[in-house]
Amino acid sequence: MRVVSTEVLLLGGVGYTYLGDMSFGAILVERLRALEWSSGVAVEDVSYNPITVMDWLRDDPDRFDRAIFFGAIERGREPGSLTRYQWIASGIPAATVQDCVAEAVTGSISLYNLLVIGSHFELLPTDTTVIEFEPVENNWGQGLSATGEMRATEVIGWLRGELTAPATVGANGHGAQA
Amino acid sequence: MCFKNLPVDFDAEGRPFLRDDVPNPYAVAQAPDTNGGVKTLTRDQIEDLLQRNGHIETKNFDPVTRVAGALAFHTVVDNQARKVIEARSVATLFRGYEVIMMGRDPRDAIFITSRACGVCGGVHSTAAALAIEMACGVKPPPLGTVVRNLLLAIEYLYDNPLHLFLLAGPDYSEAIVSKTNPELYRRAESTPAPHSNVHGYSTIADIMKDLNPLEGSLYLEALGMTRVAREAYVLIGGKYPHPQTIVPGGISATISLTTLNEIYLRIQKFFDYGKRVAAIYDDICDFFYDADPRYRDVGRTSANLIDLGQWDDEDAYDATYENCAEWGERRWATPGVIIDGKQVTTNLQHINLGLEEFVEHSFYEDWAGDEMRFKTDPLGAPLSPYHPWNKSTKPRPQASNWREKYTWATSPRWDRQAMDAEASARLWNTAIAQKIPSNPYIEATGHSLKMLVPAGRLPEMELEWKVPDVWNAFERNRGRAYCVSYTSMVALNLWSRAVELMKSGQTAVSTKFEVPKRGTQLGVGFWGAGRGYLSHHLELNDGVVTNYQIITPSTINASPHDPWETPGKYEEAVLNTPILETGSGAYQGIDVLRAIRSFDPCMPCTTHIHSDSGVLTREINTCACGVD
């Protein structure tokens, strides 16, 4: 069992606003912030240029021992599914990193880019978990779909559980699905 | 007389009027005089050549992008003649901000249109604020104008290094050149770098190595400099890239001497950086020219450049259209139009009169049959039915067809000629016009722009950007490199003025105003982005927006063919580009990519090549299962 009170856990949501289920990460951050967390937990909206997120992490690189990032990504999976996996920070082709940096500095906000760039600059905690939501609806909208709402509640439950028990997960996109 | 195609003449007092000897003055039936231009083949001719010749094939470039201005590029290449015989620029996204703005309070434009760009949202906020100021009759206090200028100068200090080293820079790196032109890289290894005393690199190959993406120190340093610029920016703007403090009538931030001091500490980091950036790009450009003079044709276009100028003089700017010619010419960057290398006007009203937008090859319906809303501008000068104040945005999605419509970009033209919207247009117009305010750091000579950059770790240096004798990909990059010092010297001037205003007690940064609730008002934000020209045209009726039109630099440069089949500037640049790539591996399209990227398109760096045999683009949201 891991004791969070002696470490600092980053819960980071990524997503554009007003994009229906694609705003899963940003909406979840708002809900997590409304909850009480132990002193070792930081809830952050990291929905901005990943290079700037890296600048923030670089200012205090030892601040977080663990990180859990979450957001919606369209990967063609079952709509409404959740995938949870351990992020492995090696083996990413340089061309992919370069593309991600170019997109980041020109304004793209992306969970995937954040993970790739963070890995390249070795700024993510070694223990980084990712929770991806496969959107049901990706049209304009202020709220989540009914399925998205249900999954948000589940993720909050998972995150609460992470305080006392580490996830049983796969790696990079092949994690446990709900 | 600045117009040679539009039927607009000038009376003895210099007032423009519509000639009465032209029966249908704005008809598009007659082809304009474009001084020859680039030769294009019809689609039938292209298809015939493709069928009959195995050495002629289609090569498409398809960037993956998620910001406005996403670009794809279609070419047909003659592999024997090693040249491009068809080039089509394709904007694959509908921007839609013009439609979103309809019926809204004009102040919404500041926050909504900022989202048109993820790099330079502040320029859209500013252009919107200027348009509203004109429509509502509000003039900012001096410090409001100066600090707004300063904010936007800082934004360019983010934008230009980003392009030079993160987007375009890798095209000249060891990683690329050694693959596409190994003989060139071998030559670079034994070629001394002429400006080694400034940038510290002994050979051209040493520069190329540090231009390598992700690992090269120039790449990494540019990433770091974007942070410096962002830090300075948020001291005024609150956040980046979508500032929170730009308002009609000035800014809503509290400015103190402490704020200004913190900004100075960051601006001054660009002094030495600008010297080195100019030296590096001088050496890169001259190396390629010396190695093979045909590089002068890569990205070559006619030198037609348009710019609206920016950074207002706080005493001259009164936000009125009536006085725009006067306050425009007192800007720190002089507005202007250059045709074939010659400046034909610096008058903002005349630049405005010459603007038209066409949609013959764009996914929109024509609006020219609608009732013309404004036959004249607020000064009584003639407006075209194709002018932004008369335009209606009527999107009409459909399949691409090279004979008909193939892009979401429109075809903005000035005096019916394709123009280049460029950071360098700022240098060029300012250099020729010699109207820049008197100051200790920048001098316009009529053929060059001299910049006296203060000492840092490097000694004080005078840089001189000279009007180039050829306009191509390399000169666009060189100009942008000099823009780093130009912009930082403008910022230094602005900073000094801000301090003087604060010392004299002129600390107000905004003027209160009301949006008129009755009647019709017109406004236009004449401004620029880091990469060049930007205008927002606004019409208010009874307090709400009834027309809003944005023309960005990428819209101008990425424009498709116009009604007379004159290609846009990306297209012209690629059609003039020789294929000089010699590498033994798969065709990289580096010469075409250098031509396109030199314009600093919104998202050039995700341009990946594919042929008919397979798409090689990267899907952003692919499963990460390829990662071990």
Chain A nearest-CA residue for B606: A99
Looking at chain B, the whole-number percentage of residues with pLDDT higher than 90 is: 80
Backbone angles phi, psi at B527, to 5 degrees: -150, -155
Mean predicted confidence (pLDDT) in A55-71? 93
> B49-63, B153-167, B423-437 — which is least confidently predicted?
B49-63
Residue B603 has pLDDT above 70, yes or no: no
pLDDT digits (tens, 9 = 90+) for B552-572: 998 899 999 999 999 999 999
Per-residue model confidence (pLDDT) at position B2: 87
Average pLDDT over chain B reads 91
Confidence of residue A99 (pLDDT cuts 50, 70, 90): confident
Residue B608 has pLDDT above 50, yes or no: no
Mean predicted confidence (pLDDT) in B363-385? 93
Answer whether B400 touches A (CB < 8 Å).
Answer: no
- The answer to whether the Cβ–Cβ distance between A74 and B621 falls below 8 Å is yes
If you compute the radius of gyration of chain B from its CA atoms, what whole number of angstroms results? 24
Confidence of residue A171 (pLDDT cuts 50, 70, 90): low
- Sole residue written with tokens 């996830």: A167
Q: Which amino acid is at B603?
A: M
Give the distance from residue A108's alpha carbon to the nearest chain B alpha carbon, in angstroms: 7
Confidence of residue B139 (pLDDT cuts 50, 70, 90): very high
Of residues B602, B622, B623, nearest to A106 (C-beta): B602
Does the N-terminal peptide bond of residue B378 adopt cis geometry, omega within 30 degrees of 0?
no
Confidence of residue B602 (pLDDT cuts 50, 70, 90): low
Residue A4 has a CB neighbour count (10 Å cut-off) of: 18
Of residues A51, A74, A90, nearest to B223 (C-beta): A51
Answer whether B621 touches A (CB < 8 Å).
Answer: yes
Strand partners, B417: B414
What residues of chain A lie within 8 A of the CB of B605, using their CB? 98-99, 102-103, 106
Category of B216 on φ-ψ map: left (φ > 0), alpha (ψ -120 to 50) or beta: beta
Residue B380 has pLDDT above 70, yes or no: yes
Total CB pairs under 8 A between chain A and B? 88
Chain A nearest-CA residue for B164: A102
Backbone angles phi, psi at B414, to 5 degrees: -120, 125
Per-residue model confidence (pLDDT) at position B30: 85
Per-residue model confidence (pLDDT) at position B460: 98
Confidence of residue B19 (pLDDT cuts 50, 70, 90): very high
Residues 223-252 of B with CB under 8 A from A: 223, 226-227, 230, 240-241
Residue A18 has pLDDT above 80, yes or no: yes
What residues of chain A lie within 8 A of the CB of B112, using their CB? none
Residues 135-164 of B with CB under 8 A from A: 162
> A10-24, B108-122, B258-272, B513-527 — which is least confidently predicted?
B108-122
Q: Please give the DSSP secondary-structure letter assigned to residue B167.
A: I
Find out whether B598 and B297 touch, Cβ atoms under 8 Å: no
Confidence of residue A165 (pLDDT cuts 50, 70, 90): low
What residues of chain B lie within 8 A of the CB of A92, using their CB? 627
In the numeric block, which tokens belong to residue A178? 């709900």
Answer whether B399 touches A (CB < 8 Å).
Answer: no
What residues of chain A lie within 8 A of the CB of B169, using their CB? none
Mean predicted confidence (pLDDT) in B439-446? 98
Residue B408 has pLDDT above 90, yes or no: no
Strand blocks (E) in B31-190: 56-61, 71-78, 83-91
- The answer to whether the Cβ–Cβ distance between A172 and B625 falls below 8 Å is yes
Per-residue model confidence (pLDDT) at position B609: 33
Residues 168-187 of B with CB under 8 A from A: 170
Name the interface residues of A facing B (CB cutoff 8 Å).
49, 51-52, 55, 73-76, 88, 90-92, 94-99, 101-103, 105-108, 110, 112-113, 115, 120, 172-174
- The answer to whether the Cβ–Cβ distance between B624 and A112 falls below 8 Å is yes
Report helix, strand or coil for B14.
Answer: coil
Per-residue model confidence (pLDDT) at position B63: 57
Distance CA B81, CA B53 (A): 12
Residue B217 has pLDDT above 50, yes or no: yes
> A17-26, B43-52, B89-98, B195-204 — which is least confidently predicted?
B89-98
Residue A52 has pLDDT above 60, yes or no: yes
Determine the residue among B239, B620, B628 to mutate to test chain A binding: the one whose Cβ has the most chain A Cβ atoms within 10 Å.
B620
In the numeric block, which tokens belong to residue B522? 């017109």
Confidence of residue B587 (pLDDT cuts 50, 70, 90): confident
Per-residue model confidence (pLDDT) at position B612: 38
Per-residue model confidence (pLDDT) at position A172: 55
Of the CA atoms within 13 Å of residue B161, those in its CB half-sphere come to: 31
What residues of chain A lie within 8 A of the CB of B62, using their CB? none
Per-residue model confidence (pLDDT) at position B119: 78
Confidence of residue A3 (pLDDT cuts 50, 70, 90): very low
What residues of chain B lie within 8 A of the CB of A110, using their CB? 66, 620-621
Per-residue model confidence (pLDDT) at position B61: 79
Find out whether B270 and B225 touch, Cβ atoms under 8 Å: yes
Please tell me which of A47-56, A57-66, B458-467 the model is most confident about, judged by mean pLDDT: B458-467
pLDDT digits (tens, 9 = 90+) for B500-547: 999 999 999 999 999 999 999 999 999 999 999 999 999 999 999 999
Residue B189 has a CB neighbour count (10 Å cut-off) of: 14
Strand partners, A10: A42, A67
Chain A nearest-CA residue for B212: A98
Of residues B227, B618, B627, nearest to A88 (C-beta): B627
- The answer to whether the Cβ–Cβ distance between B119 and A107 falls below 8 Å is yes
Closest by CA to B502, choosing from B143, B150, B146, B154, is: B143
A94-105 vs B217-237: helix crossing angle, rounded to 10: 20
What residues of chain A lie within 8 A of the CB of B603, using their CB? 102-103, 106
- The answer to whether the Cβ–Cβ distance between B606 and A102 falls below 8 Å is yes
B182-189 vs B269-291: helix crossing angle, rounded to 10: 120
